Amino acid sequence: MLELRPNCEWCGCDLPPDSQDARICSYECTYCAKCVEEVLHNVCATCGGGLVPRPIRPSTNLRPEKKLGLGFHPASTERVTSGWSREEIDAFSAIWKDVPPHKR
């Protein structure tokens, strides 16, 4: 089950489950669109992978025969913070930002 983290791991802004600004990597590291563009340059600070829009989980159970939606699978409330310094992120991103994610 995809963990819907509640915040950008770099700037700390809130990213509620229905946020269209949330971006994730394949390990579910979560950042806001602004930080992905201006700080990370589409390079996850942890794994180096690309960052894509996070899917939006329906707020309600749209299939009564299933137990789906935020009511059954709520978003995480545990805030996560990047362990990398700005200098480390800048250096790492500089190496990989011009390499397409599928070639990293």
Domains of the chain: which residue ranges? Answer: 22-97
Query: What tens digit of pLDDT does each residue of 36-83 get?
Result: 999 999 999 999 999 999 999 999 999 999 999 999 999 999 999 999
CB 35 within 8 A of CB 29: no
* Residues sharing a CB contact under 8 Å with residue 28, sequence separation 6 or more, in sequence order: 2, 3, 5
Residue position matching structure tokens 């935020």: 70
Confidence band (pLDDT; 50, 70, 90) for 7? very high
Residue 66's pLDDT is what? 95
Supply the pLDDT for residue 52: 98
pLDDT of residue 91: 98
For the record, the structure tokens of 47 come out as: 């794994």
- pTM as predicted: 0.93
